């Protein structure tokens, strides 16, 4: 017993010869320490099991949240395709080319700090929504094949702000969970901004334009 207590570090600094008196004050604390270690050994497997259960629950909820987000985006994309006559092939090319451009841009020092894996995934995910605001335009504008008059062009340009408002309403309805749509709103609102400041709707200049919107604009 004493050898075990000594090897476990519970009893220290007792020079031989060992008598009852020096040991007596130390024994209760030593046995309490040993008892606590035993309880820890017993509880450790239970703690590990609980930790694994919690990790599985968190992972399951994250997976469920991703599925809800994907379903929401796919629903909006379906509306765009039906209303604005966007072909599936076109939207897929937008997605793939945006990803390719972002992955190429990250190799450049000027973009390296702005682009990470999460950014690339979100960009690819939201890119097909860029013309969401078209669903709110009058039929005659969507179906017109000739050159638009000035007034028609001005109305057409509102698809950027209309789409942004749709995203905002969806995000507000989702509460804190709607924060993931922030990048989508940037793309929808600013994909017609020009680097020289002559775009719309906010006439942003250069790096004022969100990077995601600049990539989608270049690809489009």
Q: Which one, of 118, 109, 69, 90, lies nearest residue 216 by Cα?
A: 90
Q: Is the pLDDT of residue 74 over 50?
A: yes
pLDDT confidence band for 153 (50 / 70 / 90): very high
- Average pLDDT (89-101) is 93
Q: Compare 213 and 55 and report the one with higher pLDDT.
A: 213
SS in 3 state form for the chain? CHHHHHHCCCCCCCCCCCCHHHHCCCHHHHHHHHHHHHHHHHHHHHHHHHHHHHHHHHHHHHHHHHHHHHHHHHHHHHHHHHHHCCCHHHHHHHHHHHHHHHHHHCCCHHHHCCCCHHHHHHHHHHHHHCCHHHHHCCHHHHHCCCCCCHHHHHHHHCHHHHHHHHHHHHHHHHHHHHHHHHHHHHHHHHCCCCCCCCCCCCCCCHHHCCHHHHHHHHHC
pLDDT confidence band for 1 (50 / 70 / 90): very low
pLDDT mean across residues, the chain: 83
The pLDDT score that the predictor gives to residue 54 is 63
- Give the burial string for 59-73 (b: 16+ CB within 10 Å, else e): eeeeeeeeeebeebb
- Average pLDDT (27-34) is 66
The pLDDT score that the predictor gives to residue 49 is 67
Percent of the residues in the chain that have a pLDDT greater than 90, as a whole number: 51
Give the separation between CA 214 and CA 220, rounded to whole angstroms: 10
CA geometry: angle 71, 212, 173, nearest 5 deg: 40
pLDDT tens for 165-185 read 999 999 999 898 889 999 999
Q: Compare 6 and 188 and report the one with higher pLDDT.
A: 188
Q: Is the pLDDT of residue 31 over 80?
A: no
Q: Which one, of 170, 207, 209, 208, lies nearest residue 190 by Cα?
A: 209
For the chain, the distance separating the N- and C-terminal CA atoms, rounded to the nearest angstrom, is: 79
211: CB partners within 8 A, 6+ apart: 111, 114, 115
The pLDDT score that the predictor gives to residue 84 is 76
pLDDT tens for 46-60 read 666 666 666 666 666
Tokens 């390296």 found at: 112
The pLDDT score that the predictor gives to residue 44 is 67
The pLDDT score that the predictor gives to residue 47 is 64
pLDDT confidence band for 86 (50 / 70 / 90): confident
Q: Is it true that the peptide bond before 201 is cis, omega within 30 degrees of 0?
A: yes
């Amino acid at each position: 017993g004493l050898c075990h207590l000594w090897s476990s570090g519970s009893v220290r600094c007792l020079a031989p010869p060992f008598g009852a008196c020096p040991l007596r004050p130390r024994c209760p604390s030593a046995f309490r320490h040993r008892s606590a270690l035993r309880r820890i050994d017993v509880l450790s497997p239970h703690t590990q099991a609980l930790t694994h259960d919690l990790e599985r629950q968190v992972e399951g909820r994250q997976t469920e949240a991703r599925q809800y987000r994907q379903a929401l985006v796919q629903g909006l994309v379906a509306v765009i395709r039906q209303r604005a006559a966007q072909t599936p092939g076109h939207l897929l090319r937008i997605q793939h080319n945006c990803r390719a451009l972002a992955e190429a841009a990250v190799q450049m020092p000027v973009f390296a700090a702005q682009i990470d894996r999460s950014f690339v995934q979100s960009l690819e995910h939201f890119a097909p929504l860029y013309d969401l605001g078209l669903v709110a335009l009058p039929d005659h504008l969507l179906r017109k094949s000739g050159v638009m008059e000035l007034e028609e062009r001005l109305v057409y340009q509102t698809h950027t702000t209309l789409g942004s408002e749709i995203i905002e309403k969806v995000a507000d309805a989702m509460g804190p969970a709607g924060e993931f749509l922030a990048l989508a709103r940037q793309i929808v609102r600013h994909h017609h901004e020009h680097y020289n400041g002559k775009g719309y709707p906010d006439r942003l200049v250069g790096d004022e334009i969100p990077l995601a919107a600049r990539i989608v604009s270049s690809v489009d």
